[in-house]
Amino acid sequence: MAEKRMSRWYFGGLASCGAACCTHPLDLLKVHLQTQQEVKKRMMGMAIHVVKSDGVLALYSGLSASLCRQMSYSLTRFAIYETVRDMMGSTSQGPMPFYQKVLLGAFGGFTGGFVGTPADMVNVRMQNDMKLPPELRRNYKHAIDGLFRVFREEGLRRLYSGASMASSRGAMVTVGQLACYDQAKQLVLGTGMMGDNILTHFLSSFIAGGCATLLCQPLDVLKTRLMSSKGEYTGVRHCLQETAKLGPMAFYKGLVPAGIRLIPHTVLTFIFLEQLKQNFGIRIIS
């Protein structure tokens, strides 16, 4: 009899939190680069500017909101994707076809993106706060304080500002990460040259991270601009028009830092997830 382990529904959220703790400075720099109206600084220049202005700990500004986002957005999308995938896999003869993985990833990511929008907005605001003049800073103490203040001062609707962009981005990044990771891992294992080990997990997640970066970058730029705005955009269409005026490459502003952040985040997430699954997953004997 062969034994295998299945992931528990909350493992994706825990793994994403672990990855976020490692990659948060890169996420912060990405937000700063995307919210520049004109390209004034590159990644290293922005990092030096942040450290000189506010100290090394400023690179972890908004970490509580980032963790809150992972426990809403990532937990939801992983729970939907892995639960349905495992359920369908147990009733079929083999793995799901790739197109079904894509559809399932898009649905899970869209739902997770909507659920995680409030925490995502507070995360963007906390990361972008240090760029503002002192009199314009929001100065949220932590994620819960930010959520409460937005609800009290701006209303429930404002908590879901940019929800369409966040949900669409969630769908794209989940297709790139989860569906592509499963497919890449299936192909790598199918060669018979590598086993189900950490090297396979690294290679598959690296491929998935690259796919996710290319798919979601234009939506990520729009989402960041909408969430960090102070009323300069009337909606998604207006934000799209204003960004388009800067040229086609404006939608890929921060692509390199986004890849530098998203690829390691994806690699760490799946390595943590596979370790959680192997050590604490549900035991299945077949």
Longest dimension (CA), the chain: 67
What is the distance between the alpha carbons of residues 28 and 113, in angstroms, rounded to a whole number? 19
**Could you report the per-residue pLDDT of 38-96, keeping only the tens digit for each?**
656 677 777 887 888 878 888 888 788 889 989 999 999 999 999 999 888 766 667 88
Which amino acid belongs to residue 264?
P
How many domains is the chain partitioned into structurally?
A: 1
Cβ–Cβ under 8 Å, residues 29 and 47 = yes
Nearest-5° angle of CA 13, CA 179, CA 274? 45
Report which of residues 185 and 230 the model is more confident about.
185
DSSP state of 57: G
179 DSSP assignment = I
Burial per residue of 194-205, b for 16 or more beta-carbon CB atoms within 10 angstroms, e otherwise: eeeeeebbeebb
- CATH code for the domain in which residue 83 is found: 1.50.40.10
Per-residue confidence (pLDDT) for residue 267, from 0 to 100: 96
**pTM of structure:** 0.81
* pLDDT tens digits, one per residue of 236-249: 788 888 888 888 77
According to the model, what pLDDT value does residue 74 have?
95
Which pLDDT belongs to residue 45?
Answer: 79
In tens, the pLDDT along 203-250 reads 999 999 999 998 888 877 887 777 677 777 777 788 888 888 888 778
- Give the whole-angstrom CA distance, residue 121 versus residue 107: 21
According to DSSP H, which parts of 92-142 are helical?
98-115, 117-128
pLDDT for 142 equals 85
Mention every residue, 6+ apart, whose C-beta is less than 8 A from residue 159: 117, 118, 121, 147, 150, 151
User: Range of 164's domain?
Assistant: 3-285
